[in-house]
Structure 1
Amino acid sequence: MRLSLVLCAALVASPVLAAAPPTAEARWWGHVETLAGPEFEGRLTGSPGHAKAAAYAAGRFKAYGLQPAGTDGFLQPVTFAVQRIDAARSSVALVSGSETTPVAVGPDIILGARIPQLPTVDAPLVFIGYGLHLPEIGVDDFAGQDLKGKIAVYINGGPQEISAALKSHSRGTQTWRAASAAGAIGLIGLSSPKTAEIPWERTIENSIQPGMYPADPTLQDAGAPKFSATFNPAMAEKLFARSGHSFAEVVALADAAKPMTGFDLKLGLKANVAASVSAVTSQNVVAKLPGSDPRLAAEHVVITAHIDHLGLNETGKGAPYYPGAMDNASGVATVLEVARQMAAAKVKPKRSVLFVLVTAEEKGLLGSKYFAERPSVPKGSVVADLNMDMALPLWPLTSVIVLGVDESTLGEAARAAAASRGLEVVADPYPDRNSFIRSDQYSFIRVGVPALAFKFGFKPGTPEAAIEKAWRSDRYHGLADDLSQPVERAEAVKFNAYMAAVALQVANAPQRPAWKDTSFFKRFAD
């Protein structure tokens, strides 16, 4: 009996019976579960749910022993203008002579909210092809056309001979800058049904959410209020009815990545836009792992992911909020896990590493734009950005897509880390999605900092491509991007290890990363 009592006492005290530490899978998925959970209400920029998510991430960074590196502890507050379009009180019509054809706001056209909207518009429409502005390589769809006081209409895409990176760059802020320089008062975007990522019905649902732009006018891209809209592809023939051309003809050229020229649509557009504007403050979250090398520690490698998502569901149908599990709780979880691993390692990286979780990506890369242009560390000290947004761990990790891999010496680190793990680096399978400019790495590129973005790799025509396509169609920016979807958690852990390896290679390299002389984007550093 005494022996039994002794054994029982020993078992009770034994650490073997203590709770086992969480596995790497459980840790990563635990962050995703938390951030995509109901407490955070979809993490809309400036919302209480977003503030709670920022506090959660800051708490994790503190627990890992990282230094606060924001302007207010771990936080960097940023103020945005919030623009909400009242579709019911807005009106749009196409005009030809005395004939007026109403265009339904919502079903036919979505009014943009990411730049200050003009309250009233009465202007001719001109089709300008792809709307590319790349005069450095002799491509400028805004040239040779009279756009003063007019609205330019363009379709997404570009000729095959122009690289995906250049098309993506031109599709960003360059489009607004070129439009402003040409005297255009607005832009209407079109897309081919073949390349549409989200069904139009879901795009309409998402459009009821407010848009945002920097409260500071010096950070705004359009320069002044402009008319901004997206047209339903199923209704786009209305725009071409009097031009002598058809939308079907334009789509065929775009789908084949063929050159196209612009022409007068011989239509005008009248609009009254009802919009309200307010202000909100949100937070970037910034933590620092100091470098170990006396000379290189003053330089910073930045690892980013956006922590915001779409917030509450205001449609009155379905779940109460948009969870954003893959977009982008998964990326935040990876940053947190990479931070934990690097902070716990006995040997610290030579350069300092900043872990930056940015706000307002869904509103136009606004949080990363603010950090890149007004960093909480000396601006010239930021040498690289490694970004994760919707990596999509939905199939086995055998390859990676590294956006920007051929633009700078960062590509060598990405390829070396991939090779050491038996991973293939594959090309962007859908360059006309403009992915190179659609996440936060682009904010750093615009200020001259070499940057990369990472996703699970796949090739066109494979089962993985089918999974990715279905995810974008069924879940992207939808209520179904939730915790019930099938996720390859063990593969996510492998991806986390790959990202940590890339970060270490960059942080320990003797030379700071540099743009290649052949890269178009080297001009930003120059």
Structure 2
Amino acid sequence: MRFVVVACLAALTLAAGASPASAQTAERGERWMSRMAVLSDDAMEGRRVGTPGYDRAAAWVVGEMAALGLKPGGVDGGWYQPIRFVEQAVDQGASSAELTVGGATRPLILPADAVVGGGRPLPATIDADLVFVGYGLHIPSEGYSDLDGVDLTGKIAVFINGAPTGMPTLTLTHARAQRTAGLMSRGAVGTVSLIPPQADAARMWTGVTRGAARPGFFPDTGEAPFAEIILHPDHSAGLFAGAPKSLDQIVADARAGARMTSFPLDARLAGRFTATSVSVISPNVIGLLPGSDPELADEYVVMTSHLDGYGIGEPVNGDAIYNGALDNASGVAAQLDIAEQLIAARPRRSVLFVIVTAEERGLLGSRAFVANPTVPRESIVGNLNYDMALPIIPLTGINVLGATESTFGDHARVVSEQMGLPLTPDPFPAENRFIRSDQYSFIAAGIPAVAFKFGFAANTPEAATIRTFNETHYHKPSDDLATTPIFTEDEIRLHDFIIGLALRIANDPARPTWNADSIFGK
């Protein structure tokens, strides 16, 4: 599917008599498309973490940053922040487990009866009592907790993979994303996740077993071993023999609006696990634009986009290279255009352009940066993230994910009015896109952040176009520049919006803050 750049750029040829402003927009659009074409070319092999294709793409980004005049912002005076990861494949067949309930012990056949996850360091063995913890959620902003007064030290936490009704979707998604970390902090040594009784439980289990065949991936930070187990729906109810409530009653009460009750189970799980691990090193690429104001130059606005993609995978229509043009070569190319304009604008604060690795493996590159940034973490004032803005519809508005959560929104409204580009609400709030890309790594650390999408309303032709792309091309080999028409000049207008917002954040003496009613500031 190698893309011919000349053919694509023909559409950008300037009309006679074009104004200087439109000529500059077209030239910037041409450079953006050219950069995106390089990054999504077959030669980059889909930019999968830990592959030569990713490393080639990273080296190319370094060359572009240097040519623009950015300074190295990585470790040891260089452009890179190398991150060490572990790719872990659990051998389900060679692993074993047994479950004791009410004194009766029976084996669990893996992966038929249960699946052991590989996304965290896995202990060689485990043998611990089970404690039911409802949904396993702690949401103090809503006065809700399944964990208050529960002793999890050395125990395996059993939770229903769901959430209470009646709470804001964003609040629930944030709490679920933090669930395992919260259980670990309370001393749990593992989890057993239950699929609640429902009509599509069998379909959900099919997805679980399919995922069991894929290796897990996590940062090599020396985190304590932790076992994550998903139990087949047919075996979930048996855990509650002799418990204060049956699983059916717990689920029925929850659906009626009752709160979960946590309690110890008369059950114990023992397991012996076999896994193979491979060390993978992949870098974030970091460029620095020093601030122009001596009083603010030691503070940083961080711009992020992820470089990694899905690499070479299962062929679709004979094509095995997942080029990732819009996800997210488009974002990396956008950051290079944004950097070029910000260099000329000389912002007061410094700006870090962090092109992160391993987003597709769980936001791991940005998480690693936030955990160990190349500048003091307290000096980071905010994050602006670009991930797959989807310039495949006209730009009639901008969806700033997170605008309602912090004072970023106040600045965004000013830029919106100046540019005549209305801010549009998220048309797909149930998808929780605000916390599904690299901005969430900053949010989880208490740093205000936003992300950007082309704006549109639900149930419109534009929404249908986006849905079609997501269903047909997202995370597939057909996400390339030969497939989908691109609104190039509209894309550059989005860049100008991001530039205007970044400059307001960089030049304002006050740092961005969370709004008083935001869960992320609490």
TM-score (norm 2): 0.79
Query: Are residues 334 and 206 of structure 1, via their aligned partners in 2, closer, same or farther at CA, if it must alter by over 3 Å?
Result: farther
Task: Report the alpha carbon displacement of residue 110 of structure 1 after superposing the two structures with TM.
Answer: 5.5
Worse overlay, 92-101 or 444-453: 92-101
Q: Equivalent of 2:442, from 434, 441, 444?
A: 444
Task: Report the alpha carbon displacement of residue 483 of structure 1 after superposing the two structures with TM.
Answer: 3.5
1:483 aligns with 2:489: no
Q: Equivalent of 1:63, from 64, 67, 74?
A: 67
Identity of aligned residues (%): 38
Separation in 2, partners of 1:332, 1:174: 31
- 1:7 is matched with none
| Number of equivalences | 488
Amino acid at match of 1:66: L
Task: Report the alpha carbon displacement of residue 84 of structure 1 after superposing the two structures with TM.
Answer: 2.4
Amino acid at match of 2:299: E
1:492 aligns with 2:498: no
Query: Are residues 176 and 63 of structure 1, via their aligned partners in 2, closer, same or farther at CA, if it must alter by over 3 Å?
Result: same
TM-score (norm 1): 0.79
Q: Is the 8 A contact 1:400 1:457 kept in 2?
A: yes
Q: Which runs of 5+ in 2 are unaligned?
A: 1-15, 17-22, 241-245
Task: Report the alpha carbon displacement of residue 316 of structure 1 after superposing the two structures with TM.
Answer: 10
Give 3-state SS (helix, strand or coil) of 1:286's partner. Answer: strand
Matches of residues 197-208 of structure 1 in structure 2 within 5 Å? 208=213
Matches of residues 45-60 of structure 1 in structure 2 within 5 Å? 45-60=49-64
Worse overlay, 118-127 or 43-52: 118-127
Deviations 1:116-145 (A, max 9, x none): 123445667666444321235421123466
Deviations 1:3-23 (A, max 9, x none): xxxxxxxxxxxxx9xxx9973
- 2:182 is matched with 177
Task: Report the alpha carbon displacement of residue 89 of structure 1 after superposing the two structures with TM.
Answer: 4.0
Q: Is the 8 A contact 1:169 1:436 kept in 2?
A: no
Q: Is the 8 A contact 2:40 2:323 kept in 1?
A: yes
1:519 aligns with 2:521: no
Deviations 1:295-327 (A, max 9, x none): 222221111011112223168995333222222
Separation in 1, partners of 2:431, 2:97: 28
- 2:306 is matched with 306
RMSD: 3.9
Worse overlay, 149-158 or 364-373: 149-158
- 2:12 is matched with none
Give 3-state SS (helix, strand or coil) of 1:301's partner. Answer: strand
Separation in 1, partners of 2:314, 2:477: 11
Q: Is the 8 A contact 2:306 2:357 kept in 1?
A: yes
Query: Are residues 414 and 310 of structure 1, via their aligned partners in 2, closer, same or farther at CA, if it must alter by over 3 Å?
Result: same
Separation in 1, partners of 2:49, 2:194: 25
Task: Report the alpha carbon displacement of residue 34 of structure 1 after superposing the two structures with TM.
Answer: 2.0
Query: Are residues 441 and 82 of structure 1, via their aligned partners in 2, closer, same or farther at CA, if it must alter by over 3 Å?
Result: same
- 1:8 is matched with none
Separation in 2, partners of 1:290, 1:113: 41
Task: Report the alpha carbon displacement of residue 365 of structure 1 after superposing the two structures with TM.
Answer: 2.2
Matches of residues 43-122 of structure 1 in structure 2 within 5 Å? 43-71=47-75, 72-87=77-92, 89-90=94-95, 97=104, 102=109, 104=111, 111-120=116-125
Amino acid at match of 2:420: G
Task: Report the alpha carbon displacement of residue 339 of structure 1 after superposing the two structures with TM.
Answer: 1.2
Separation in 2, partners of 1:191, 1:341: 52
Q: Equivalent of 2:361, from 344, 347, 363?
A: 363
Matches of residues 10-409 of structure 1 in structure 2 within 5 Å? 23-71=27-75, 72-87=77-92, 89-90=94-95, 97=104, 102=109, 104=111, 111-120=116-125, 128-143=133-148, 149-161=155-167, 163-181=168-186, 183=188, 185-188=190-193, 208-217=213-222, 220=223, 224-229=224-229, 236=233, 239-240=236-237, 244-245=246-247, 253=255, 261=260, 272-313=272-313, 319-343=319-343, 345=344, 347-409=345-407
Query: Are residues 121 and 205 of structure 1, via their aligned partners in 2, closer, same or farther at CA, if it must alter by over 3 Å?
Result: same
Q: Is the 8 A contact 1:239 1:267 kept in 2?
A: no
Task: Report the alpha carbon displacement of residue 385 of structure 1 after superposing the two structures with TM.
Answer: 0.7
Q: Is the 8 A contact 2:127 2:270 kept in 1?
A: yes
Deviations 1:366-396 (A, max 9, x none): 2212222322223332211101122222322
Give 3-state SS (helix, strand or coil) of 2:388's partner. Answer: coil
Q: Is the 8 A contact 1:305 1:440 kept in 2?
A: yes
- 1:12 is matched with none
Separation in 2, partners of 1:318, 1:187: 39
Amino acid at match of 1:51: D
Amino acid at match of 2:293: D
Q: Is the 8 A contact 1:121 1:270 kept in 2?
A: yes
Query: Are residues 459 and 352 of structure 1, via their aligned partners in 2, closer, same or farther at CA, if it must alter by over 3 Å?
Result: same
Separation in 2, partners of 1:109, 1:496: 47
Q: Is the 8 A contact 1:167 1:432 kept in 2?
A: no
Amino acid at match of 1:325: A
Give 3-state SS (helix, strand or coil) of 1:372's partner. Answer: helix
Worse overlay, 374-383 or 126-135: 126-135
Give 3-state SS (helix, strand or coil) of 1:313's partner. Answer: strand
